């Protein structure tokens, strides 16, 4: 008969005796309960370290038991768990672990309050919920599963984790969140939003968001949820590649249904078309839950080749190196403004805490959001910017420099009987330093400055000027923290 230990009793025991999680080459940190942060508008108090669903949970080496990794994470207090329909056996491994923890609805001993204490996220790469084959150049990515759609992925997850793995799942099974995974192109954003504003069962094409909204709300607006099941609690998305695409994904969300974002960001982020200055502020301004991933660049910060993992030999099973401890990399991601938790895949656990990736990563994650200042961050970057010639982040777009304001426009109005120029533009995107403000020039004379702010919707920046009669040339200029600039020119005739 297996001995069942609840999360509360385990953490109370560790608090009483004082669990020390030592770290190689670093001072010891005593952890009784992992640090938590409130996850934006989700309101969930999440541990600063979440368990990633890849590494040995997906590509399992022959001598590793992936279930033991999940169980150890749970018993050490981790409460955010990540997996995906694209991660091979990952969801099935979670199902086995949850069986040991009384987290399977309908099974003897099911502990509903314990289930509510964790946050379980899965992902889908299926862009279409209905129809859409080859439409807009976007096909469903289904891990070689053809002709499937978004809600089939949701139900597959429920079956693999909570049910029989054959499509069946018990009543009251649910996912805390489903992320639309790896959004990379503007065409994909168009597809995902298809039918959201006016879903109809007779529609030929319906994007993923409309269907996910149905199974979040227990509705059947799309005709794809006839039992009006409530299968998920939150909807989000993830991205590795393009800041403009991810910002567009957020700006299009006029109904605020996107509760969270999983984003690739680490110490080499500023070498690329960076996420930390371009995307994080927009998500934070909408109070989204923000989860960091690729903290170690999928192992490329260490011995692994800088390319996508796809087999057990790619799993990193060591804890940092003497030249590059893992702690500062974890701290860097967790002190980026807006980040609530970082998911990290685990290759190796060990009874010896100094050899246990999970124990060390939890220890490193015990930081407050303001633990590092700008100088600290630059020092950490210096240690990683030369690794693999700075090319660890194979999953990000190459840097392109500060952009001018996007989609600039000018229109003429008559206000109080005077000709008025109304200038509008959308956000500029930064290079390796954030945009601070925009300058307005008329006929080579600076006439105003407009502070930059995260643009959370499609409503543009705006500036009005009453220049009098004549022909005028206006410039709207992006300025970053290093006083670099990029401009766009508009002509106005009154």
| Contact assessment for residue 387 and residue 336, using Cβ atoms and an 8 Å cutoff | no
Q: Which band of pLDDT confidence, cut at 50, 70 and 90, is reported for residue 132?
A: confident
Q: Which band of pLDDT confidence, cut at 50, 70 and 90, is reported for residue 133?
A: low
Number of structural domains, the chain? Answer: 2
- Whole-number Å distance between alpha carbons of 188 and 203: 18
Same-domain check for residues 243 and 321: yes
Same-domain check for residues 296 and 436: no
Per-residue pLDDT at 383 exceeds 50: yes
Single out the residue in 343, 365, 390 at which a domain terminates. 390
Same-domain check for residues 368 and 414: no
Per-residue pLDDT at 180 exceeds 80: yes
Per-residue pLDDT at 384 exceeds 90: yes
**Per the domain annotation, does 401 fall within a domain?**
no
| Contact assessment for residue 384 and residue 392, using Cβ atoms and an 8 Å cutoff | yes
**Per the domain annotation, does 341 fall within a domain?**
yes
Of 93, 106, 104, 33, whose CA–CA distance to 64 is shortest? Answer: 93
pLDDT of residue 23: 33
Higher model confidence: residue 10 or residue 425?
Answer: 425
**What does the pLDDT average to over 69-81?**
98
Q: How many CB atoms lie within 10 A of CB 324?
A: 17
Per-residue pLDDT at 480 exceeds 50: yes
Q: How many CB atoms lie within 10 A of CB 70?
A: 26
Identify the CATH number of the domain in which residue 423 sits: 2.60.40.10
Displacement of CA 3 from its chain's centroid (Å): 36
Q: Over the stretch 214-224, which tens digit does the pLDDT of each residue have?
A: 999 999 999 99
* Residue 335 Cα distances to 265, 370, 398, 434, angstroms: 11, 6, 24, 16
What phi, psi does 426 have (nearest 5°)? -105, 170
Q: Over the stretch 137-149, which tens digit does the pLDDT of each residue have?
A: 555 554 345 568 9
Same-domain check for residues 464 and 423: yes
**Per the domain annotation, does 400 fall within a domain?**
no
**Boundaries of domain holding 31:** 7-390
Q: Over the stretch 264-279, which tens digit does the pLDDT of each residue have?
A: 999 999 999 999 999 9
Single out the residue in 390, 422, 450 at which a domain terminates. 390
> Which token pair is 123?
């992902």
**What does the pLDDT average to over 288-292?**
98
Displacement of CA 64 from its chain's centroid (Å): 28
Q: Over the stretch 17-54, which tens digit does the pLDDT of each residue have?
A: 333 333 333 334 445 679 999 999 999 999 999 999 99
* Residue 490 Cα distances to 27, 424, 425, angstroms: 58, 10, 11
| Contact assessment for residue 224 and residue 211, using Cβ atoms and an 8 Å cutoff | yes
Same-domain check for residues 352 and 379: yes
**What does the pLDDT average to over 56-80?**
97
> Which residue's entry shows tokens 């009154």?
494
Long-range contacts of 485-491 (CB under 8 A, 24+ apart): 485/402, 485/439, 486/401, 486/402, 486/403, 486/404, 486/428, 487/404, 487/441, 488/404, 488/405, 488/408, 488/425, 490/408, 490/409, 490/410, 490/423, 491/410
Mean pLDDT of the residues in the chain? 92
Per-residue pLDDT at 11 exceeds 60: no
pLDDT of residue 1: 39
pLDDT of residue 146: 58
**Per the domain annotation, does 478 fall within a domain?**
yes
pLDDT of residue 140: 55
- Evaluate if pTM is beyond 0.85: yes
Same-domain check for residues 177 and 61: yes
Per-residue pLDDT at 207 exceeds 70: yes
Burial of 451 (0-12, 13-18, 19+ CB in 10 A): exposed
**Per the domain annotation, does 2 fall within a domain?**
no
| Contact assessment for residue 234 and residue 174, using Cβ atoms and an 8 Å cutoff | no
**Per the domain annotation, does 398 fall within a domain?**
no
What phi, psi does 338 have (nearest 5°)? 100, -20
Sheet of 461-465: strand order equals 406-415, 418-426, 461-465
pLDDT of residue 10: 38
């Amino acid at each position: 008969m297996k001995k069942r230990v609840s999360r509360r009793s385990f953490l109370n025991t560790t608090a009483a005796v004082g669990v020390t999680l030592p770290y190689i080459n670093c001072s010891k940190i005593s952890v009784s309960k992992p640090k938590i942060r409130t996850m934006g508008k989700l309101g969930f108090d999440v541990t600063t370290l979440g368990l990633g669903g890849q590494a040995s949970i997906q590509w399992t080496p022959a001598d590793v038991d992936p279930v033991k990794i999940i169980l150890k994470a749970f018993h050490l207090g981790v409460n955010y768990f990540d997996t995906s329909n694209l991660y091979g056996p990952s969801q099935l491994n979670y199902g086995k672990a949850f069986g040991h923890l009384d987290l399977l609805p309908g099974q003897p001993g099911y502990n509903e309050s314990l289930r509510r204490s964790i946050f379980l996220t899965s992902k889908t790469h299926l862009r279409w919920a209905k129809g859409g084959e080859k439409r807009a150049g976007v096909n469903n990515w289904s891990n070689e599963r053809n002709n499937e759609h978004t809600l089939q992925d949701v139900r597959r997850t429920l079956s693999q984790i909570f049910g029989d793995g054959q499509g069946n799942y018990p009543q009251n099974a649910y996912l805390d969140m489903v992320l639309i995974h790896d959004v990379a192109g503007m065409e994909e954003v168009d597809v995902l939003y298809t039918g959201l504003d006016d879903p109809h069962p007779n529609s030929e094409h319906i994007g993923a968001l409309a269907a996910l909204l149905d199974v979040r709300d227990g509705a059947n607006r799309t005709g794809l949820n006839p039992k009006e099941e409530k299968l998920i609690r939150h909807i989000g998305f993830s991205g590795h590649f393009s800041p403009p695409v991810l910002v567009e994904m957020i700006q299009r969300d006029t109904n605020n249904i996107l509760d969270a974002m999983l984003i690739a960001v680490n110490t080499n982020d500023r070498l690329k078309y960076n996420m930390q200055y371009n995307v994080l502020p927009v998500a934070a301004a909408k109070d989204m839950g923000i989860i960091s991933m690729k903290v170690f660049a999928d192992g490329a910060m260490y011995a692994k080749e800088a390319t996508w993992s796809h087999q057990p030999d790619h799993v990193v099973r060591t804890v940092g190196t003497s030249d590059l401890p893992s702690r500062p990399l974890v701290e860097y991601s967790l002190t980026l403004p807006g980040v609530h938790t970082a998911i990290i895949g685990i290759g190796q656990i060990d009874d010896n805490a100094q050899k246990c990736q999970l124990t060390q990563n939890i220890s490193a994650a015990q930081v407050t959001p303001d633990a590092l200042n700008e100088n600290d961050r630059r020092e950490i970057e210096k240690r990683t910017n030369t690794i693999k010639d700075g090319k660890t982040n194979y999953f990000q777009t190459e840097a392109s420099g500060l952009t001018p304001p996007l989609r600039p426009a000018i229109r003429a109005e008559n206000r109080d009987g005077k000709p008025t120029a109304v200038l509008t533009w959308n956000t500029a995107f930064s290079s390796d330093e954030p945009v601070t403000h925009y300058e307005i020039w008329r006929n080579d004379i600076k006439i105003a400055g407009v502070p930059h702010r995260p643009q959370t919707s499609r409503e543009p920046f705006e500036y009005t000027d009453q220049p009098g009669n004549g022909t005028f040339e206006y410039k709207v200029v992006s300025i970053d923290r290093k006083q670099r600039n990029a401009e766009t020119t508009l002509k106005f005739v009154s």
